[in-house]
Every structure is written in C-alpha cells, then in structure tokens.
Amino acid sequence: MTTNPEAQTVAERQLCGLLNGMAQRIGDHVRRGAGRLGLTAPQAIALRELTGPMTMRELAERMTCEPSNATFVVDKLEKQELIERRPHPTDRRAKQLVLTAQGAALRDRLLALLGEESPLAGLTDAERATLRLLLERAMTHPPEGEPPARG
C-alpha cells in the first residue's frame, strides 16, 4: 500500500480513469451489439442478465438500475414477444420474467455478438478471474461512511 498521500491520490486518479475508460468501451461494445440486433442497450443488458426465471427486482439488481427502469425495458421486450411475465411459483404477489423461445434465440445471438471483439478479449481466463475478484473485493469494501454497493 502506498504511504505517500500524493502518490496514492495520483494512483487512485489513474485507476479511476482506467475503470471509467473500460466502462465506456464496454458500454460502446454493448450498444453496437444491441444495434446490430435492433435492440437498445438497456434491452440488450436485460436479455444478457436474464439467465433464467427471475423477478423484476432481481433483474433490476443485475442491470444495476431501479425496478421502474427495468419495468420500462421489460415492457418493450414483452411487446416484442421476447419475454413473458408468469406467476411466481412461491410468491403470489410477484411475477417471474421468462424468455420466450424467440427471446432465448435472440439472447444466444446477442451473447455471441458480445463475445466478438470484447474489450476484455485481450485478457486470459486467469486474468479475467483476477480482475473480477479484485473488482468484487473493491465493491464489497466501500470507503468508511459509504454503504456497500448494490448488485
């Protein structure tokens, strides 16, 4: 750990710049892939994150957005017959979101597109695993006085 406060500030600024730059590259990559399939980026993110039946709240957490924003996206996907709302098997107040056959096929195409020329493609599997662990660690240990990150 750096003990020189000025050096630590410079290192933090550089790291934040790299993280912001990578987030921008990933966002651009998702938008391009989504556009090729006639989707918006939020629709693509919802399809990517819908790995099985889940509630709107669960999907919103995965999308890192408010449930009302996820609802807007899901409404559009439902109109395109890509997602269905079904009764939740154990919670009569909730609905489960489930991909239709058409939605599952489109999700597969989306995942293939997102895998092409991914901003993370230059990393080995081991490097991606290390990056994930480091980011998870940073996200679960917020600075003093701040709540832990959602998601």
Give per-residue pLDDT as tens, 33-80. 999 999 999 999 999 999 999 999 999 999 999 999 999 999 999 999
Q: What is the mean pLDDT of the chain?
A: 91
pLDDT given at position 148: 58
Does the pLDDT of residue 7 top 90, yes or no? no
Query: E strands within 58-149?
Result: 83-87, 95-99
**Structural domains in the chain plus CATH codes:** 8-140 (1.10.10.10)
Global confidence as pTM: 0.82
Measure the CA–CA gap between 151 and 20, rounded to whole angstroms.
18
Compute the CA torsion angle 144, 148, 149, 151 (nearest 10 deg). 170
Tokens encoding 120 = 């993370």
